[in-house]
Structure 1
Amino acid sequence: MYSKTIERMLLVAPWGKDQITDDYVHPSLGIYRIKFALSEMGVNCSIFDPNLAEDPHQQLRSLIGASKFDMVGFSSNHYTLPHDLSLMHLVYNLKKDMFLVGGGVECTTNYETVLQYAPPGFIIVRGEGEITLQEFCKQPVKEKVPGLIWMENGNICFSPSRPNLSKDEFIHFTRIMDWKKVPFEDYWRFLGSIDYDTNEDPKLAEKNIKTARLVLSNHCPRNCNFCSSTNFLRIASGENPKVHKILSEEALDVVIDICNAHSELKTIFFHDDDFLANKRWTKSFCELAIGAKESGKLPNDICFIAQGSVRNVPYLSPYLADLGFKLVGLGVESFSMDVLREFNKVQSESEINKAITSLLDVDVIPYLNLILSSPDSTVDDLRLTVNESIKYLKMGASIATSLYTLAFPGAKIISETQKEGLITYQSHNIEGTPHCIQLSDKILPRDPTLREVLRRTEIRIPEILKTFFPQKKRFRSVLGPATLYAILDVIKEMELQEVDDNLKETEGILCSMD
């Protein structure tokens, strides 16, 4: 390797591979932040998204062969890591003298595993990468740049820790995003080519597809025990992070810029973990954006989506509705107070109910995110959450479900359950190499009866989906009700509780989606 400055860089998005048609594919905003941060200092930065490629290995091989990159950077999350590693090895085998770096939540929270399976010389960028990579491109000597991890002679080495971005730095890197150069249209065309099983009106389907995701804050401070991203900056820097968010006036400027850059855009999705955390900020943004619609600065038909915690929803719901929010994702997680305490979710049954009903009252869809089991949960906890979910589905809510608490590296709940052997692992072959990587998958409940219910439910879900939605791909909104139906069917089969009425209600919900 050499120590000249980095002039040309390729950034590679996380590769979902077989999962890409089961989820919403969108530009990786993290690597676009890096692109514009490096472009600001004169680095020629290109982006390759394997999710849009017909043959990612071949297309990346051609790209590397045809261009003189000094460095290739990879972004990874937990479920894309095996596929990302495959692409890393491909690049290494083509150009062994090229710098290879990686970043993102997985590289920061699970760096030992990443370095174990990454190609020789691979360098991890901890936490926020904008300034770290700016400095590395000026002087590519890893020992001299804070915020890096690498393997040397079988040992993991660290450069000094780097502080998290200051508020001014975070705002700066958010505001320099050139939205004209983020190719949302490529992703809309890809999504439009998938034959989803849906009974939506074509105009509504278009609003769902032609969406741009935005992140306006740096950190969620809620400290939910199952979440790794809440610990991302703390693990990276060793300091307690402060929440930074651009001003509501600046947020409106960003939204206007995106709408002007992409004339076919129908929906803005604020993808912050808790967009609703500061009710004064959210109210101010809504009022400013309503004014922008009235003055013609924003298209009058532009819709909005956000996600957040329940506590501020009753106050904010009228403002959200007036602006044109069509859906708000809520971190409900469970309707069992015991499970919520275990998750460190500070919310009551009454607060959850008020949040859901206040959105329904103003014709905004509440999208309930649910984790159906936890290490300490029981069949009674599961049945309570299923019953409440069916009630709210009938009222007009939507749900997304995870049968298990997922075992993300960096989450507090991992350290609490690993010693007991409650965490399961999945083996993944790294294509193009002889390596097989073991990744944490899910956390089993301690209760043996609940374990058996969940085991049978996993088997039953594909059967339910095939029955109600044959052949075609499905939007995630149908998977939640199908999961509830499968759970009830298993509970009936095991003769644990009487569920016939709820089964009929859930079947009716599924039939209405067919």
Structure 2
Amino acid sequence: MADNKNKIINQRALFIVPPTGLFYRDDRCQVSLKGVSNAPRPPLDLAYMSAILEENGFECRMRDYPVENGGWQDVENDIREFTPSMLVIYTTITSVKEDLRACSMAKEIDPGIITIAKGGDTTISPEERLEMCGDLDIAIIGEPELTMLEIALGRELEEIKGICYRENGKIVKTPRRPFIEDLDSLPFPSRHLLDQSKYVRPDTGEILTTIQSGRGCPAKCIYCLSRVVAGADLRLRSPKNVVDELEHCVNDYGIRNFFFRADTFTWDKEWVISVCKEIISRKLDIQWVANSRANTVDDERLVWMKKAGCWLVSFGVESGSQYILDMTRKGITLEESREALRLAKKHKLKTFVTFLIGMPWDTRETIMETFDFAREIDGDFFEVILPFPFPGTTYYEIAKRDNLILDGAYDNIYDHFNSVVKTYHLSADELTEMKKKSFWYLYARPRYIKKIISQCDSPKAFKNYLSFGINKMKAHFASTR
């Protein structure tokens, strides 16, 4: 693309997840799926962007190469066959160097293809992305839908908010686009462009899709990208609009399993109950999972959630040390986590609990407190995660200032098994060893194994749990620096 010449040669756009590994590529959660307890999710940001283009007469294709077991030859073949005028690439902060290979591939095939990158990393460091790859034309900053539409309609680049591009050999960043307040105005994601059979529940193998119920997070956790990329104000879709999409998925795709993509689905009590009542009134017969916080659940919310088909709630407990919770501005107490897990069990809801070890103040003692707390609250499923210092977060600023980030931390794809940070008290290697220890201390307990087996209500579920356990053990002990 010539400097600042947004020339659309046809109305075709190819949206891709590059063949650089299985990740959650959500802006706030760029996690490798190696050995974690979840399954791949549809690339919702790409599906929203393609939907708004289709609504305006464009022909779109979408490929999720990692879940399709595709490779770079498939990327080349698709570009040659489809001949798009725009190639949109979904990136993450640790895979971006490899992801952007697609730009050079596209330019070799047709220099007129406009190459566009979208990811949490393009919001944080858009200039660096253009410096990293001379064949990248545009980096999208912030919410992508309206920005993508203006690019596709051929608007002059300097008039488009929320992008970074080149002009006369220099990199230019336009003002950030305001957040979309009326999320109901967006079309439903273009799921018809994806092979839905690739996205399944890890326990039953049934097709599962993601519903984005809102954007923004009022919480102030220092390690999370949510406020950076989506803002601190909670913006919710109307209950009717959310359930319209659920009904669309049930009727048009036969999908009855859902994950609500929201930083905290349960934040607004009245809204949660309204969504549940709407699901019940339409007799949708669905099952779903949602993220929550320990201080945003109570009996009434959980009663309605259970009635409406919720079977699992995810809690970011993060630490068994109140000191670490306070230092990371998590905004919850250990007692609130205990009560949240107690309430979930009371209402026969399964729980998925995450713990984060390796924050700057962590010691061997606070990490063991976390492991002991995990045993105490006894979630049904859990994940122990090593932190990653995302630029734009307060944690990154602290870790950078105090030299806690290892050299080369951003040079390779991060697998969450080898720590790229140290604490004030522990080396990166020691954190990696503590992560390995979590497997034996938490997962390999006879009591826990018996509990998981008792929850298997079919041979298929037992097989899936067994397969996951074996893969998790291999991932833990294959990890080397």
User: What range describes the TM-score normalised by the shorter chain of this pair?
Assistant: 0.7 to 0.9
Deviation, structure 1 residue 162: 2.1
Using structure 1 for the length normalisation, give the TM-score: 0.77
Deviation, structure 1 residue 29: 0.6
Q: 1:162 aligns with which of 167, 172, 177?
A: 177
How do residues 85-484 of structure 1 correspond to structure 2 at under 5 angstroms? 85-152=100-167, 155-165=170-180, 167-168=181-182, 170-173=183-186, 176-177=187-188, 181=192, 183=194, 185-188=196-199, 205-206=204-205, 209-233=206-230, 242-263=233-254, 265-293=255-283, 298-299=284-285, 302-315=286-299, 316-393=301-378, 396-402=379-385, 404-424=386-406, 425-426=408-409, 428=411, 442-448=420-426, 453-457=430-434, 478=469
Which stretch shows the higher mean deviation, 319-328 or 354-363?
319-328
Distance in 2 between residues matched to 1:463 and 1:331, nearest whole Å: 21
Query: What is the one-letter code of the residue matched to 1:42?
Result: G
Which stretch shows the higher mean deviation, 318-327 or 147-156?
147-156
Any idea what the Cα deviations from partners look like across 1:244-281, whole Å, max 9, x if unmatched? 21111222221111111222x34111121110110111
Which stretch shows the higher mean deviation, 376-385 or 48-57?
48-57
State whether residues 243 and 279 of structure 2, in contact with CA within 8 Å, keep that contact through their aligned partners in structure 1: yes
Report the equivalent of 2:27.
Answer: none
Using structure 2 for the length normalisation, give the TM-score: 0.82
State whether residues 333 and 369 of structure 1, in contact with CA within 8 Å, keep that contact through their aligned partners in structure 2: yes
Equivalent residues, number:
439
State whether residues 180 and 261 of structure 1, in contact with CA within 8 Å, keep that contact through their aligned partners in structure 2: no
State whether residues 208 and 257 of structure 2, in contact with CA within 8 Å, keep that contact through their aligned partners in structure 1: yes
Deviation, structure 1 residue 475: 8.1
State whether residues 421 and 428 of structure 2, in contact with CA within 8 Å, keep that contact through their aligned partners in structure 1: no
State whether residues 314 and 351 of structure 2, in contact with CA within 8 Å, keep that contact through their aligned partners in structure 1: yes
Query: What is the one-letter code of the residue matched to 1:185?
Result: Q
State whether residues 179 and 258 of structure 1, in contact with CA within 8 Å, keep that contact through their aligned partners in structure 2: no
State whether residues 305 and 326 of structure 1, in contact with CA within 8 Å, keep that contact through their aligned partners in structure 2: yes
Cα distance 1:95–1:61, how it changes in 2: closer, same or farther (>3 A)?
same
Deviation, structure 1 residue 108: 0.8
State whether residues 179 and 257 of structure 1, in contact with CA within 8 Å, keep that contact through their aligned partners in structure 2: no
Any idea what the Cα deviations from partners look like across 1:410-455, whole Å, max 9, x if unmatched? 222101220211012336479xxxxxxxxx974321014x756424
Query: What is the one-letter code of the residue matched to 2:269?
Result: K
Whichever of the two has the greater Rg, that structure is 1
Distance in 2 between residues matched to 1:479 and 1:140, nearest whole Å: 52
Cα distance 1:162–1:423, how it changes in 2: closer, same or farther (>3 A)?
same
Distance in 1 between residues matched to 2:431 and 2:33, nearest whole Å: 25
Structure 1 position 66 matched with structure 2 position 81: yes
State whether residues 197 and 207 of structure 2, in contact with CA within 8 Å, keep that contact through their aligned partners in structure 1: no
State whether residues 11 and 85 of structure 2, in contact with CA within 8 Å, keep that contact through their aligned partners in structure 1: yes
Of Structure 1 and Structure 2, which has the larger fraction of its residues in helix? 1
Aligned-partner SS, 1:313: coil
Cα distance 1:284–1:97, how it changes in 2: closer, same or farther (>3 A)?
same
C-alpha RMSD of the superposition: 3.3
State whether residues 400 and 477 of structure 1, in contact with CA within 8 Å, keep that contact through their aligned partners in structure 2: no
How do residues 77-88 of structure 1 correspond to structure 2 at under 5 angstroms? 77-88=92-103
Q: 1:33 aligns with which of 39, 48, 62?
A: 48
State whether residues 215 and 234 of structure 2, in contact with CA within 8 Å, keep that contact through their aligned partners in structure 1: yes
Query: What is the one-letter code of the residue matched to 1:383?
Result: M
Report the equivalent of 2:15.
Answer: 11
| Unaligned 5+ runs, structure 2 | 23-31, 450-462
Aligned-partner SS, 2:235: coil
Query: What is the one-letter code of the residue matched to 1:311?
Result: N
State whether residues 15 and 50 of structure 1, in contact with CA within 8 Å, keep that contact through their aligned partners in structure 2: yes
Deviation, structure 1 residue 482: 6.7
Any idea what the Cα deviations from partners look like across 1:62-116, whole Å, max 9, x if unmatched? 1111222111111212243233122222222222221111112111112233222
Aligned-partner SS, 1:423: coil
State whether residues 12 and 72 of structure 1, in contact with CA within 8 Å, keep that contact through their aligned partners in structure 2: yes
% same residue: 19
